[in-house]
Structure 1
Amino acid sequence: MKNLVARLWRLIRGPLQWRVLWLWHAKFMVGVTGVVRDEEGHVLLLRHRMWPPDRQWGCPTGYANKGETFEDTIVREVHEETGLHVKAGRLIHLKSGYKLRVEVAYEAVFIGGTLKIDPAEILEAKWFSPHQLPDGLQESHRLLIQQTAKP
């Protein structure tokens, strides 16, 4: 059977191979999270309107657009949700996530702007000391903050 599949694969070269691969394999959404810090090391956290009521606090997060770099995704998402400007830093997390999702996280540095939340998505935005994080913080985000904390 494997030999037959291999022979057929060689016969359908080029674009048809890519079409078969595309149909055969899972399609993923890429969720990108940013651990945003200011000059003093405080972390930007948002209380997300659409997250479960007992776990609404988290880092800025959103989905990558087609063709967008993941660094650009976090820069865009932070600006859309808060009006703030950030610069993406090092990659701190990459794994397959829930169902058809890939999870990516970057450190990011606040570089300017005035805080103005998008009320359609965000209820509140605050800077927190990494040692005094709010109740209701997503556990995965707490771990990312702890993993990137400076001693």
Structure 2
Amino acid sequence: MIARLWRLINGSFQWRILWFRHAKFMVGVTGIVRDKDGNVLLLKHRLWPEGRQWGLPTGYANKSETFEDTVCREVLEETGLKVRVGEIAHLKSGYKLRVEVAYEAEFVGGTVKIDDFEILEARWFAPHDLPEGIQESHRLLVHRKRI
């Protein structure tokens, strides 16, 4: 009987029921941006905890935005650089209201021009020479270890 009723309501009404019934999440999206030499782009984030401010470009996906587009937008907004998004590197759920996703990305052009409201500094680092104060989860992403 429930299945028959479900089929009768069909379409957008089903979607609304599902939307109200299920959890809503913000999606944090990170880009592991590498240049042609394999160096990785790290940002010193103004709003992150003192002593742990270095990390990868990251931000939240906007409504109706693909996660790949989020990587491109965040990198452009924070650094002025353009990137090409590659494969997914990490996906993690289980947080109360957040999902995290990270993608590999390739630097394709532009000149560094930081958003000084959010970013203190942007620099390229060799993966074997990452700075002190990098978020440990981001260090693992650079080295593509499971986090």
After TM superposition, the score normalised by the length of structure 2 is 0.90
- Greater helix share, 1 or 2? 1
Relative to 1, partners in 2 of residues 1:97 and 1:61: Cα closer, same or farther, differing over 3 Å?
farther
- For residue 122 of structure 1, the aligned residue among 119, 124, 127 is 119
Give the corresponding residue for 1:36. Answer: 33
* 1:53 maps onto 2:69 in alignment: no
Give the corresponding residue for 1:96. Answer: 93
Equivalent position SS for 1:32? strand
Matches within 5 A, 1:3-82: 6=3, 9-10=6-7, 12-82=9-79
Give the corresponding residue for 2:133. Answer: 136
Equivalent position SS for 1:88? strand
- 1:144 partner amino acid: L
Structure 2 portions without partners, runs of 5+ = none
Equivalent position SS for 2:143? helix
* 1:145 maps onto 2:145 in alignment: no
- Separation (CA, whole Å) in 2 of partners of 1:11 and 1:86: 46
Tell me by how many angstroms 1:69 deviates.
Answer: 1.5
Which whole-Å deviations, capped at 9, do the CAs of 1:102-121 have from their partners, x for residues lacking one?
Answer: 11111111111110100111
8 Å CA contact 1:34, 1:105 repeated in 2? yes
After TM superposition, the score normalised by the length of structure 1 is 0.88
- Separation (CA, whole Å) in 1 of partners of 2:76 and 2:101: 18
- Separation (CA, whole Å) in 2 of partners of 1:40 and 1:11: 58
Tell me by how many angstroms 1:15 deviates.
Answer: 2.6
Tell me by how many angstroms 1:8 deviates.
Answer: 5.0
* 1:112 maps onto 2:109 in alignment: yes
Tell me by how many angstroms 1:7 deviates.
Answer: 5.8
Q: Give identity over the alignment, percent.
A: 72
Which whole-Å deviations, capped at 9, do the CAs of 1:110-140 have from their partners, x for residues lacking one?
Answer: 1111101001110111111100111111111
Query: What count of residue pairs does the alignment treat as equivalent?
Result: 145
8 Å CA contact 1:31, 1:64 repeated in 2? yes
- Separation (CA, whole Å) in 2 of partners of 1:58 and 1:97: 22
